[in-house]
Structures are given as structure tokens and as C-alpha cells.
Amino acid sequence: MSNASSAPSHATILPNGWEMVIGLEVHVELDTKTKLFSASPNHFGDEPNTNIDPVTLGLPGALPVINRRAVELAIRLGLALNCTVQASTFHRKNYFYQDLAKAYQITQYDQPINIDGFMMLPGDVRIGIERAHLEEDTGKSTHFGGTSGRIHGSDYSLVDFNRAGVPLVEIVSRPDIRNADQARQYVSELRSILLAVGASDAKMEEGSMRCDVNVSVRKAGEPFGTRCEIKNVNSIRAVGKAIDYEARRQVDVLESGGTIRQETRHWDDSEGRTHTLRVKEDADDYRYFLEPDLVLLDPGTEWVETIRASLPMLPAARRARLSQLTGTDKESEAVYVIVERGQDDYVQLVADAGGEPARALVYVQQAFAEEGATPAVSAAHLAALTQMERDAKVTATQAKTILAEMVANGGGDPAAIAAAKGFEALDTSAVEAMVDAAIAQQADAWAKYCAGEEKAMGALVGAIMKASQGKADGKVVTAILQSRRSK
Amino acid sequence: MSPPSDAKTTPKITAQVVAKVAHLARLDLTEAELALMTTQLTGMLDHFGDIDKLDLSAVTPMAQPFPIKNVYREDVVVPGLDRQEVLDNAPAPQDGRFRVPPSNGSES
């Protein structure tokens, strides 16, 4: 999932001019110590109902007070998504459900804290962000009895309120996404941004990042069709699969003369399909009203600008910088992977130490997958290795062997390793002598090669590499063969 | 919430509207209660109708009656409630959790 951009395209082409229209609502749990409106721990995986207090349980008289750090993280995220940060209010969203002790969720309604942002995807695709607002998470209910283990037909539910009141930001995209690839890229990039600004650990497997997907289809250029909302999409891979399934389902319904009902559907990952969860016959009536227990949240220009100034360089900017340094496409897999691992600063250090940036990028991508942001191999030593390869003191194959040894030993001087392994340089005249010997021995192959049969070069190169015991540089050998032929 | 209404006419409260609101609040009203509530809610809305008749164009809409803003709590853990004590007050605790009847309400 690290590099949605460079993965082969899985974008479904819908038949007969149909087009997908996709919007994403992503909930992320903020990485705070305490809940949004109370001082109980925000901590995943604790024993049920151990992180509870009167506010969490909605006990009479309990009053919410907002967590400053949660507000700060929400603003960090909003700024990273190019949003406008504004004075905001909270509302009560009223509904009855087991995991909501108060019978309402405190959320932001008509004055959210972040509005009107955007995110750029590969290929300069701009996806609008309508809003990124603060709200509280619900508790967790587990349904028992019945046959399905789901709520319909269950006999009873057990409720754990540890998660109730955990601070969330809900990021609502505009319906600007047009295929499953873009949706996966959006979620992947959002995750990278969340990690970069420290707003959330964004672990989809632990539910600290959750996606709801709105999908509709239309004929290109026509107004939006009726949309369905898909829930339970719990991995980036599932985002793509759910969208492709749902869009095809809708096209099938419409092409056979049916209509799409506006409904909420559940993604079943094991079956690879969506099915109806509930039909929105009556528009949900949550009777929103202003939360009387909270006052206006107006962070003010000064605080917002202080936060803006404290933001780290974001993934897109880091990729652009690494791309420029190494002369590699900013949408290449190598650039995505290195930035996601946080190793782009290290590549810069290698370059600063006189190393070859493009070689360093390849080395780091291939050999440092387990190393994290500060690899054990020193930047100076990796720089030295890139120079040895550049100057043909070692072959690419030898460099790879040396690198593997450096990684295994947690460092080491590449020149010393080369010497210990007997990787001394072959001077060009020695290689030329070997080339001439090979041409003499493999007269057939040479004749074919001279006749333009490029594949015949393999036999010659093989003979030379064997004669040099692998010490000849394949690129040098090839160059000499080519120059001999052109004479 | 619908945006603030500019309508000069007060919305009419019918028994059907009251029945819907009662359903949303999970209240089971008798026909007699429904009629009583309809009359009472109509009286309340008539009062707001009187306010709507005034020229309030110079008055800033008030989102909050309190003249204060930005009341924050620092992100510091304070011990909460003891689980056993809380569950002892629940009708049907089970495995450290609250056992409740299934609901057909909607998830957020």
C-alpha cells in the first residue's frame, strides 16, 4: 500500500460510457492522551470499561470540557490539508444506539473547524476537502445470539465505553474521485499526512482510521446519480475492491432498467461484495442543535499561525525534494517508498557526503527496508560505496555484495570490505585482453553478434565474466564489445 | 438542523409532526397525549411567531448565551470511575461490559 501511485493500474473501466463518482469520509482517532471532552485515557486495547468517567457515561450533571491538544491536532491536520481554519461550534446529533450513553454524539455541524481544503494525487489530480471536523467517537458494542453475529436478529449486546469520547476528526472529501485507484491513493496519502503531522497513528487494523465510501455512477457529463454509502471498509485494498464491486453493481442495476435506492451498504471482505445494511427511506433526522454545554471554539490567527509554522515538511514536498536530488520521477515507487520510510533525509546526507544520489536512492530502497529513518550504515560509508561503483572500482554486483555485508554488520568501510573479498579493480587493459580472448574463443558468437544478433553478446559476456571471476564490470565489458564491433 | 428560517409564517404543528417527534424520542404517546402536546407545542411556536414579526435585522444572531469562548482542558489523564463500582449500578453487567437489549437504532 506504500505506493499506490506506481502500482499497476487496477482502475475498472465501466461499460458503455459509465463513470464513477466517489467521495470518502474518513474518521481518524487523534493521538491524544485523553478523550475529547474528559480526562479518561484515550488508549486502545485496554480491558473493557476501564477508561470511563461521568462524561463518557453521560451521567446526569457531567459537563464536557474540550481537550486543547485535540484541537491543536485537528488544526495541524486541517492546515496540512490546505483547509481554512475558522471559529467553530459543536452540536448534538441525537440518536439511540447502545454504544452512545448520552443518546447524542457531540459533533460539529454548520461551523466545522476546518473547511475548503484539498489534496493533490499523482498526475496533478486535485481532490477537494469539504471539511475536517472534530467529534467524539462512540463506544463499542458486540452483538450476541441470533445467527449472523450482526445486530439484526441478535439477542443482546455487550457494550464497552473505552472508545466513547475518543477524539476524532472526520475528513469529508468532495465527490472529486473518479476511480478506485484514486480512492486508494487518497487514503494512502491521507495516512502519510496524518503520520507526518503526528495527528494519528492511522492504524486501519486497529480502527484508528476508518473509511466510509460514497459511490454513485453516471454517464460522463450527466448529473450525479443516486449514491450508496459503504461501511466497514477497513483496509486500503478493501477501499479499491469495494468501490469496483459497488460501481459495477449499480451499473448492472441501471442497465437492466432498475433504479438505485439511496442506502447504506456493508462491505463483506471475505465474500468480496456489498449488501444492504439499511435503506434511507426517511432521511435520518438527528435533530441537531447547538451543544449548550460548550462555548465557541475560536482558535484565533495567532495560534493557527504558530501551529502552521510548526508543521513538518509534508510527504508531497519531501517527495518533490527527493525527486529533484536524485533525478528520479516524483511518482516513482522508489521515491514514495523512501519518503514513507522517512529515509529521504538520509539520502540527502549521503549526497552531502559526496555520494551519488541516484545510486544511494536505489541502495536504500533495496537494502534498508528494515532500517527506519536512521540506518545503521553511516551516510559517509554509503557515499563511499556509490563512489566506488561510479568510478568502476567495483562492479554493480560487487557493490551489492558489499552493501549486504554492511547492512548485516550494521556498518563498515566499503573499501575494507572490498579488499577483504578480493574485489580489487581490474584495469581496463586487463578487461580488454579478456574481451579479445573471448572473441577468439567464441568465434561463432562473435560472428553472430557482428551480424547484428544482439543476443549472441550474452555468450561473450558470460565467458569474460567467468575469466575475470566476476570481477569485470558488466557495463565496461559491454562497452568494449560494442566499440570492437563498430570498428 | 435546518438553517434559521426567514419565514414570516410560523410552521404549523400537526398531530403527525408531534407523532414523528415522539417517535424520534422513543416516546409512546396516547391519542389524548398527542392532542394535548399538539396544542401545547402550537402555543410555544406561536410565541416564537410573535418574535418573528419583529424587525431583528440589526440584531446579531447569538450562537451561545455565554460571552466567553475557548474553555480548554489540558491533555492530562485524571483517574476516572472504578469499573466494578459502575457495573454494580448497571442492570445487567456481563464480562466487564454492559449487557443491553439489541437496538434497531442507527450507528453513526
Which residues of B lie closer than 8 Å to A, measured between beta carbons?
Answer: 1, 3, 20, 24, 26, 63-64, 66, 68-78, 80-81, 83, 86-87, 94-108
Residue type (1 letter), B15: A
* Minimal-distance CA residue of chain B relative to A279: B106
Q: Is residue B77 part of a domain?
A: no
Beta carbons of B98 and A161 less than 8 Å apart: yes
Beta carbons of B1 and A32 less than 8 Å apart: no
ipTM surpasses 0.90: no
Query: What residues make up the domain containing B7?
Result: 1-56
Beta carbons of B75 and A295 less than 8 Å apart: no
- Amino acid A381: pLDDT: 95
Beta carbons of B106 and A95 less than 8 Å apart: yes
Q: Is residue B7 part of a domain?
A: yes
B-proximal residues of A, 329-388, CB under 8 Å: none
Interface residue A89 vs chain B (CB under 8 A): yes
Average the pLDDT over each of A17-26, A36-45, A395-404 and give the range with the smallest value: A395-404
Interface residue A285 vs chain B (CB under 8 A): yes
Give the residue, A473 or A94, on which the prediction is more confident: A94
Check if the beta carbon of residue A228 is closer than 8 Å to that of residue A209: no
Beta carbons of B86 and A49 less than 8 Å apart: yes
A269 vs chain B: nearest CA distance in angstroms? Answer: 20
A130 has pLDDT over 90: yes
- Amino acid A282: pLDDT: 56
B104 has pLDDT over 70: no
Check if the beta carbon of residue A21 is closer than 8 Å to that of residue A219: no
Q: Is residue B11 part of a domain?
A: yes
pLDDT-based confidence at residue A2 (cuts at 50, 70, 90): very low
Average pLDDT over residues A342-363: 95
- Amino acid A228: pLDDT: 95
Average the pLDDT over each of A159-163, A474-478, B22-26 and give the range with the smallest value: A474-478
Which of B83, B94, B106 minimises the CB distance to A97? Answer: B106
> A263-268 and A91-94 as β-strands: parallel, antiparallel, unpaired?
unpaired
Q: What residues contact residue A284 under an 8 Å CB cut-off, 6+ apart?
A: A95, B106
- Amino acid B4: pLDDT: 46
Residues of A with Cβ-Cβ distance to B69 under 8 angstroms: 87, 295-298
* Minimal-distance CA residue of chain A relative to B78: A39
Q: Which CA distances in Å does A211 have to A181, A378, A410, B66? A: 15, 40, 40, 37
Beta carbons of A100 and B108 less than 8 Å apart: yes
**Residue B5, domain CATH:** 1.10.20
Interface residue A105 vs chain B (CB under 8 A): yes
Which of B72, B74, B97 minimises the CB distance to A158? Answer: B97
Give A203-248 pLDDT, tens digit per residue: 998 899 999 999 999 998 899 999 999 998 999 999 999 999 999 9
- Amino acid A388: pLDDT: 92
- Amino acid A1: pLDDT: 38
Report the SS3 class of residue B92.
coil
B90 vs chain A: nearest CA distance in angstroms? Answer: 11
Average the pLDDT over each of A154-168, A339-353, A413-427, B31-45 and give the range with the smallest value: A413-427
**A428-486 fold:** Arc Repressor Mutant, subunit A (1.10.10)
Average pLDDT over residues A5-29: 78
B63 has pLDDT over 50: yes
Average pLDDT over residues A256-280: 89
Average the pLDDT over each of A133-147, A339-353, A468-482, B67-81 and give the range with the smallest value: A468-482
Beta carbons of A156 and B78 less than 8 Å apart: no
Spatial distance between the Cα atoms of A42 and A39, rounded to a whole number of angstroms: 9
Check if the beta carbon of residue A168 is closer than 8 Å to that of residue A30: yes
pLDDT-based confidence at residue B9 (cuts at 50, 70, 90): low
Spatial distance between the Cα atoms of A38 and A46, rounded to a whole number of angstroms: 17
Beta carbons of B107 and A156 less than 8 Å apart: no
B107 has pLDDT over 50: no
- Amino acid A281: pLDDT: 54
* Minimal-distance CA residue of chain A relative to B87: A49
Q: Is residue B65 part of a domain?
A: no
- Amino acid A476: pLDDT: 79
Average pLDDT over residues A325-344: 94
| DSSP state at residue A10 | -
Interface residue A67 vs chain B (CB under 8 A): yes
Number of compact structural domains in chain B: 1
To test the contact with chain A by mutation, choose from B68, B103, B104 the residue with the greatest count of A C-beta atoms within 10 A, namely B103
Beta carbons of B73 and A67 less than 8 Å apart: yes
A124 vs chain B: nearest CA distance in angstroms? Answer: 34
Interface residue A207 vs chain B (CB under 8 A): no
The 10 Å Cβ neighbour count of residue A22 is: 25
Residues of B with Cβ-Cβ distance to A292 under 8 angstroms: 64
B11 has pLDDT over 90: no
Long-range own/partner contacts, residues A339-342 (CB < 8 A, 24 or more apart): A339/A192, A339/A315, A340/A2, A340/A3, A340/A192, A340/A315, A341/A368, A341/A369, A341/A371, A341/A372, A341/A373, A342/A372, A342/A373
Beta carbons of A52 and B64 less than 8 Å apart: no
Average pLDDT over residues A268-293: 83
- Amino acid A278: pLDDT: 77
Mean pLDDT of chain A: 90
A383 has pLDDT over 90: yes
Q: Is residue B64 part of a domain?
A: no
Average the pLDDT over each of A153-167, A460-474, B76-90 and give the range with the smallest value: A460-474
B1 has pLDDT over 70: no
Residue type (1 letter), A305: E
- Amino acid A72: pLDDT: 98
Q: Is residue B43 part of a domain?
A: yes
Give A447-470 pLDDT, tens digit per residue: 888 888 888 888 888 888 888 877
Average pLDDT over residues A430-437: 84
A149 has pLDDT over 70: no
Beta carbons of B102 and A154 less than 8 Å apart: yes
Report the SS3 class of residue A58.
coil
Residues of A with Cβ-Cβ distance to B68 under 8 angstroms: 295
Query: Nearest 5°: phi and psi at A210?
Result: -135, 140
B69 vs chain A: nearest CA distance in angstroms? Answer: 5
Spatial distance between the Cα atoms of A192 and A188, rounded to a whole number of angstroms: 6
Beta carbons of A295 and B103 less than 8 Å apart: no
- Amino acid A264: pLDDT: 92
Ranges for all domains in chain A classified under CATH 1.10.10? 428-486
